[in-house]
Structure 1
Amino acid sequence: MQPSDKALVPFVSVDHMMQLIHHVGLSDMLRGLAGYIADDFARWESFDKTPRVASHSAEGVIELMPTSDGETYGFKYVNGHPKNMSEGLQTVTAFGLLADVGTGYPVLLTEMTMLTALRTAATSALVAKTLAPKGATTMAMIGNGAQSEFQSLAMQAIAGITHVRLYDIDPAATAKCAANLAGTGLHVTACTTAEAAIEGAQILTTCTADKAYATILTDNMVGAGVHINAIGGDCPGKTEVAPAILRRGDIFVEYPPQTRIEGDIQQLAPDHPVTEFWQVLTGAAAGRTSDKQITIFDSVGFAIEDFSALRYVRDQIEGTAFYHPLDLLADPNDPRDLFGMLGRAKEA
């Protein structure tokens, strides 16, 4: 018994996602994702919004990230398990789905481990382009794990950096990142301390994996005028930036109810002022206003960014071979006769 066309859902596997990235071009895909994210942030108020639904354990966290713009619904399933690295497993894996609100039928199912890395990097670079000092050329990349190359290349493609200074507590991670960035046009410097990495950098990115109240950037490390892209503090009990820096700078976030639970600002009072980044994009709030200002993007990742990434992939795979038709939906001849469909399958 063959499924009908309306029972088939486009499914993008990891292999097809990688083929799509190479087909579009990594830099072009990062720019495309940033464009879709900017478009959706500009219509922020049309979305359903809720902090992600998290199931925490001693080993890590499993989360669902849902949203809808009234016409299309999307969600991402994602985990965060720092211990996985020691077992040869990814610390983060994900998949996502888009559905038509009118029918409830899924219209896309896709891997999102690779896609999350791209959308996170695209979001970071979009924010840096908006908030970092004008003419910024150098980024410190502290934490050289799975996200570091994507962050570096997105900052190059979108924010215009030409130099990246790498540091990780594991020298092998820094060597890996430097090797992967060879030939990209970036000038790469491997550093032996975090202090050395931030020398001369206008953008400071922190992306570490340990689920702990950590201080990757101490108060005396950060001078006036820099932009901090803090993306590693993304769950309760996990931080990277000293509270004194947060109090000195202007903090920009995605969705305050989620960031106050998961971001670096969990260290501050619940009413500490923050600015929602979508308001900067629409002109409703100011971004960088002086050369001395410290801007801090306390990024935890939000469902609308995933929605944008899913929309982008849906549009890009149209007319290509970069997906499988997946027999995901029951499609009986009579919508009331699901049992009869089961019987016919036995006969076939």
Structure 2
Amino acid sequence: MTRSDLRCIVEAVGANALMDELIHALTEALRTFDGEQTEVRKRDGFLLESARQPGCLEWMPVMQRGQAVTVKMVSYSPHNPEERGLPTIIATNSLYDVHSGHLIALMDGVFATALRTGAASAVATRCLASPDSRVIGLIGCGAQAVTQLHAISRLFPITEVLGYDTNPEAQESFARRTAFLGLNVKIVPLAELEERSDIICTATSVAVGGGPVLSEKKLKPHVHINAVGSDLPGKTELPKSLLERSLVCPDFTVQCLVEGECQQIRPDQVGPDLITLVKNPDVYEPWRERSTVFDSTGYALEDQVVTALFLKHAERLGLGTSVALETVGGDALDPYALLHTPEAAPKRDVRLATGS
């Protein structure tokens, strides 16, 4: 599935409807999660050394027993935008048949990652933020801030959006990039953002050891924070003191303890994970009037959900191109059979999307 296929899906479904559908699908996947049927692994990968700031290349696997394995390969290169004109996050999502090991589908993960991360924050925010929340603050106005705002605005009647970024270009273009939402976007000093926001999303490329990115001096007592930027040991966005007095909900606990905000606190100070939160929302409802944090490091289950959603729409719309990528067909016992097997002409084929 190419970039043009994804464009066709968004145009056919609509950006708002697609985000609504993703939020619903992710909520259901979390609410009905069964560890006996779905195995999610903590991501692993390589640290990419850089003279300025390290990045990483990682893989995030999840298996639905008896069905398929979804794997995302994702890179984090914080200087991509200014040095190469590329996104900070670049990814590809792939789907494999668990019976044969056959690659069923391969698709872009850049757009999918942005969408699913925003959707995950929306799910957590619905459970933890005050229902009266109207003002949202974005610390970091890059690509991820756009989908954070989009997703949360689908669940809360946002009346004002406050943005802050250390990058002047990101600040200046944020209102234009979010204009499709029809919201009142203002760029303000960080102190004002902290003081006035009911919901705050931190989505920064802060360096390892460079945090925190907010001061917590005048936060509202009921503030809910989605901390999205932590993805390496030593890279954090929030003050430890804020975490210690808040209900901290990790997306995937074993991962967050290593590379999320949770690495700053003891395991016994960590609250319910996202699955527990969604399965038992009433239990944590009293926290909506106190400070809460969603520690979002990126969860492979989210990748499974968004990949399945795009493939469903690809099947419905007849999108996806069949590619003879693997050397299969002919004599299964003869690796040189490819020399005698005629190549079929490339054609558009929905079977890539359906997994058949």
Q: Normalization by structure 2: what TM-score?
A: 0.88
> What is aligned with 2:175?
178
Distance 1:337 1:57 in 2: 39
Q: Deviations over 1:27-51 (max 9, x none)?
A: 1111111122112212332321221
Runs of 4+ in structure 1 off by over 6 angstroms are none
> What is aligned with 1:4?
none
Match of 1:275, SS?
coil
Distance 1:220 1:204 in 2: 14
> What is aligned with 1:13?
2
Q: Deviations over 1:231-281 (max 9, x none)?
A: 011221211000000001001111111000110121122443321111121
Question: Which of the numbers 142, 166, 172 marks the counterpart of 1:169?
Answer: 166
Farther off after superposition, 169-178 or 245-254: 169-178
Pairing 1:1-348 to 2, within 5 Å after superposition: 12-44=1-33, 45=35, 46-59=37-50, 60-70=55-65, 71-87=67-83, 88-191=85-188, 193-213=189-209, 214-283=211-280, 286-344=283-341
Cα offset, 1:290, TM superposition: 4.3
Farther off after superposition, 195-204 or 70-79: 195-204
Amino acid at match of 2:21: G
Cα offset, 1:321, TM superposition: 4.2
- Root mean square deviation, CA, Å: 2.0
Cα offset, 1:204, TM superposition: 0.7
Judge conservation of contact 1:16–1:323 (CA < 8 Å) in 2: yes
Cα offset, 1:58, TM superposition: 2.3
CA gap of 1:330–1:308, structure 2 versus 1, over 3 A, is same
Distance 2:32 2:333 in 1: 39
Distance 1:120 1:215 in 2: 21
Distance 1:314 1:177 in 2: 30
Cα offset, 1:288, TM superposition: 3.1
Farther off after superposition, 27-36 or 83-92: 83-92
Cα offset, 1:108, TM superposition: 1.6
Distance 2:267 2:59 in 1: 24
In structure 1, runs of 5+ residues without a counterpart are 1-11
In structure 2, runs of 5+ residues without a counterpart are 344-356
CA gap of 1:54–1:331, structure 2 versus 1, over 3 A, is closer
Distance 2:240 2:218 in 1: 13
Cα offset, 1:116, TM superposition: 0.6
Judge conservation of contact 1:251–1:297 (CA < 8 Å) in 2: yes
Amino acid at match of 1:67: V
The percentage of counterpart residues that share the same residue type is 27
Amino acid at match of 1:207: A
Cα offset, 1:130, TM superposition: 1.7
CA gap of 1:219–1:136, structure 2 versus 1, over 3 A, is closer
Farther off after superposition, 239-248 or 259-268: 259-268
CA gap of 1:304–1:86, structure 2 versus 1, over 3 A, is same
Distance 2:18 2:162 in 1: 24
Match of 2:310, SS?
helix
Amino acid at match of 2:60: M
Judge conservation of contact 2:194–2:214 (CA < 8 Å) in 1: no
Judge conservation of contact 1:30–1:122 (CA < 8 Å) in 2: yes
Q: Deviations over 1:212-240 (max 9, x none)?
A: 22111223232311111110112212110
Cα offset, 1:66, TM superposition: 0.2
Distance 2:48 2:198 in 1: 37
Q: Normalization by structure 1: what TM-score?
A: 0.90
CA gap of 1:229–1:37, structure 2 versus 1, over 3 A, is same
